């Protein structure tokens, strides 16, 4: 039940090996040399087309840099713009790995609660109006799944423009909305060029690729490109070339369509099984998209509970371990993408309930 993993059984292995062997056979000397530290141009071009159509992000291919993962994007940005003790807004709760990276670099993380409209920008204006950066997940708040409303998007962008602060938009799973067409990315509204848009292939393909991307505002391109070269930001040619072909030949869009249908089904299986099993002992909010569910329990020891469940091989996360400030909610974060049948979902929900039983109050 590891949260955040795509369906590993549905990865297009045959296509991948066919395209891979074609590329290897035809590789020229240039492709065996050091790859461009900013990323392969064919992938950046294909991404520019894809981001415009799928996420409403308009940019030149030259503005896109390829990295070895979301945290590599954050590392570049914090090196470029942050000093120790600088304040950074994050949602509370938020992706623990981003929080830990900021803390490891000495930044002060200002955790801002989310409500049904997403990040409470107002709280940021009260607590740390001069923060240097905001790291946000507007499409689906990670991990609660809320979409940032239009008025909040505008408020956030206005703050960044007025303060000359930066916004990092983490669009980690913007492709996975099941009920309605997703809102375009926050970057779509970024008239003042304060937003660094980031995306990853960890959810749309597989995380072992270690491939992510970032759209850099024109005014910052020289600085960020220079840092990419200094730090040798490059990622392997073969994987980039393969993903570029998936995108440009239409395979990627077809794969996403297939995955959306699959995830909708798998999500239904797990949510129905959890509801049937836990009844009034837990509350399950099924958001419009994403790759995981959050089960909120009537008990206040989610870390202890998660540890206990993980010892039994269930691989869930404690919601409170994702706090970026005071712990506001407790529960279990669990993935459903690798559950292959309704029967498997029921068996998992039953195992989960039995393992939780001693922690549940009536």
Ligand X SMILES: Cc1ncc(COP(=O)(O)O)c(C=O)c1O
Q: Does 147 bind ligand X (CB under 6 A)?
A: no
Tokens of 168: 């990092």
CA-nearest of 249, 283, 271 to 345 is 271
Shortest distance in whole angstroms from residue 12 CB to ligand X:
19
CA-nearest of 182, 84, 68 to 132 is 84
Shortest distance in whole angstroms from residue 208 CB to ligand X:
9
Residue ranges in 64-83 that form contacts with ligand X under rule CB under 6 A: 69-71
Q: Does 4 bind ligand X (CB under 6 A)?
A: yes
Task: Report the alpha-carbon distance of residue 175 to residue 204 in Å, rounded.
Answer: 8
Q: Which of 92, 137, 234, 330 binds ligand X (CB under 6 A)?
A: 137
Residue listed under structure tokens 């049937």: 276
Q: Does 302 bind ligand X (CB under 6 A)?
A: no
Shortest distance in whole angstroms from residue 295 CB to ligand X:
17
Q: Does 172 bind ligand X (CB under 6 A)?
A: yes
Shortest distance in whole angstroms from residue 247 CB to ligand X:
17
* Planar angle of CA 342, 344, 348, nearest 5 degrees: 115
Site string for ligand X, 30-69 (x = CB under 6 A): ---------------------------------------x
Please provide the DSSP assignment of 194-259 as one string.
Answer: -EEEEEEHHHHS-GGG--EEEEPPGGGHHHHHHHHHHTT----HHHHHHHHHHHHTTHHHHHHHHH
> In the chain, how long is the greatest CA-to-CA distance?
68
Q: Which of 7, 160, 212, 305 binds ligand X (CB under 6 A)?
A: 212
Q: In degrees to the nearest 10, what's the CA dihedral of 188, 38, 219, 160?
A: 50
Q: Return the axis-axis angle of helices 70-81 and 96-104, rounded to nearest 10°.
A: 30
3-state helix, strand, coil in the chain (%, to 5): 50, 15, 35
Shortest distance in whole angstroms from residue 211 CB to ligand X:
8
Please identify, using beta-carbon distances, which residue of 206 and 355 lies nearer to ligand X.
Answer: 206
- Enclosing H/E stretch for 119: strand 118-119
Please identify, using beta-carbon distances, which residue of 124 and 199 lies nearer to ligand X.
Answer: 199
Q: Which of 75, 78, 139, 142 binds ligand X (CB under 6 A)?
A: 142
Shortest distance in whole angstroms from residue 2 CB to ligand X:
10
Q: Does 213 bind ligand X (CB under 6 A)?
A: no
**Contact 345/336 with Cβ under 8 angstroms?**
yes
The count of chain residues that interact with ligand X, using the rule CB under 6 A, is 13
Q: Which of 163, 207, 265, 359 binds ligand X (CB under 6 A)?
A: 207
Residue ranges in 183-202 that form contacts with ligand X under rule CB under 6 A: 200, 202
Q: Among all residues, whose Cβ is closest to ligand X?
A: 69
Where along the sequence are the contacts to ligand X (CB under 6 A)? 4, 69-71, 95, 137, 142, 170, 172, 200, 202, 207, 212
């Amino acid at each position: 039940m590891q949260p955040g993993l795509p369906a590993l059984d549905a990865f297009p292995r045959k296509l991948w090996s066919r395209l891979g062997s074609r590329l290897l056979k035809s590789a020229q000397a240039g492709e065996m040399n050091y790859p461009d530290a900013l990323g392969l141009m064919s992938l950046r071009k294909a991404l520019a087309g894809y981001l415009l159509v799928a996420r409403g992000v308009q940019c030149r291919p030259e503005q896109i840099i390829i990295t070895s993962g979301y945290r590599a994007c954050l590392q570049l940005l914090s090196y470029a713009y942050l000093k120790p003790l600088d304040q950074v807004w994050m949602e509370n709760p938020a992706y623990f790995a981003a929080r830990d990276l900021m803390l490891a670099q000495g930044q002060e993380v200002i955790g801002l609660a989310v409500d049904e409209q997403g990040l409470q920008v107002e709280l940021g204006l009260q607590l740390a109006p001069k923060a240097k950066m905001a790291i946000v997940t507007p499409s689906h708040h990670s991990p609660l799944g809320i979409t940032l409303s239009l008025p909040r998007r505008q408020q956030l962008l206005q703050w960044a423009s007025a303060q000359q602060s930066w916004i990092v938009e983490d669009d980690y799973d913007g492709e996975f909305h099941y009920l309605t067409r997703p809102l375009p990315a926050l970057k779509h509204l970024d008239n003042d060029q304060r937003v660094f848009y980031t995306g990853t292939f960890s959810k749309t393909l597989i995380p072992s690729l270690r491939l992510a991307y970032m759209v850099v505002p024109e005014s910052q391109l020289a600085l960020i490109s220079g840092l990419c070269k200094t730090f040798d930001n490059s990622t392997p040619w073969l994987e980039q070339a393969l993903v570029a072909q998936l995108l440009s030949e239409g395979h990627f869009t077809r794969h996403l369509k297939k995955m959306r249908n699959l995830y909708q089904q798998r999500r239904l299986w797990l949510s129905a099984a959890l509801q049937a099993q836990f009844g009034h002992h837990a509350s399950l909010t099924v958001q419009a998209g994403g790759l995981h569910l959050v089960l909120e329990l009537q008990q206040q020891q989610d870390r202890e509970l998660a540890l206990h469940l993980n010892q039994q091989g269930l691989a869930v996360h404690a919601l409170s371990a994702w706090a970026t400030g005071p712990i506001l909610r407790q529960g279990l974060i669990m993935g459903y993408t690798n559950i292959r049948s309704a029967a498997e979902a029921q068996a998992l929900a039953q195992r989960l309930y039995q393992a939780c039983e001693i922690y549940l109050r009536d």
